[in-house]
Amino acid sequence: MSRTSTNEHGHNRPEDEHPRLSSAGRRHDARRELGELVHDFRNVLNTLHLLSEVAGASLPKESRAVTTLRQIQAACIHTSEMCERLLAESGHAPAEAHGPDRLDLKWMASDLSAHVRDMVPLLNSSVPATSELQFDLAADLPAIEISPGDMRRVVLNLVVNAAQAIGDQRGAVTVTTGQVRLDAAALRDALFAEDMHPGLYVCLIVSDTGCGMDQETRDHLFERHYTTKPDGHGLGMASIRRIVAEHHAALQVESRVGIGTTVRVLFPAAAAVPVILYETAEIR
């Protein structure tokens, strides 16, 4: 005999009719639906990327539209990488990769300056016209071990944050790469450097001529959900802290109110292994 229960109208119905999903079941369904949605969205991005490549191939290289199409391609690649992370978080393995920018490798020996050059179209489209982007990228840097997706997240978040600090005023954001040998004393002054050892480091430096930060803001800068912006979420700098921790790197922050801010990310130089290089965009 089927067990019964009373519904909201006072009528009896079998208990197994319209069963409620368990909390775990609802979460499973939500993850599945998220994975399907992200997968479909990434397919649209890949289509946009392909169409922009086809359109660019039919234009003269000196056409201004080519630069815009490169910016679209860079944005598609970056967003596709975020989709892959969402797929991983929802329990779905990323789809088979296509091309060097789709490699789903956590650790790979890479050239920092090449990464930044590859991002120039995306960075130019991510900052307002009032912020002048400047680059000083060193050649022949030691390799660092990091995935392209994580490197792009670090660079993009730092540059966007720097441009936001400038606001509506005219100012400059400068992206610099280089190498430095750090001793124990220098590492003691760096943030999140507990597991680091003296040696050779490759540095990414992003500086701005913006509003600067007071001590309280610097103390909370990398905390999740901490923000000084009315419409901010406090996730970008927290994401940088996570990536820095995962790659045994460290941070240095210098800032003066009314003068500007400089953030240095220090990556340990990798062992002597082949470096993954990318076709890079011309800096404009």
Per-residue pLDDT tens over the stretch 11-53: 555 544 445 556 666 666 676 677 767 766 776 777 777 777 7
Distance CA 35, CA 140 (A): 40
**pLDDT tens-digit readout, 260-278:** 999 999 999 986 444 444 4
Question: What is the DSSP code string of 12-49?
Answer: EEETTSSPPPPHHHHHHHHHHHHHHHHHHHHHHHHHHH
- Give the pLDDT score at 228: 67
Q: Lowest mean pLDDT: which of 89-93, 127-131, 205-209?
A: 89-93
Measured in whole angstroms, the distance separating CA 75 from the mean position of its chain's CA atoms is 12
Q: What percent of the chain has pLDDT over 90?
A: 23
Q: 249 Cβ partners below 8 Å, 6+ apart?
A: 192, 196, 243, 265, 266, 267, 268
- Average pLDDT taken over every residue of the chain: 76
- Give the pLDDT score at 267: 92
- Give the pLDDT score at 222: 76
Q: 177 Cβ partners below 8 Å, 6+ apart?
A: 112, 113, 116, 136, 137, 138, 141, 202, 203, 204, 205
- Please state the rounded mean pLDDT for residues 100-111: 53
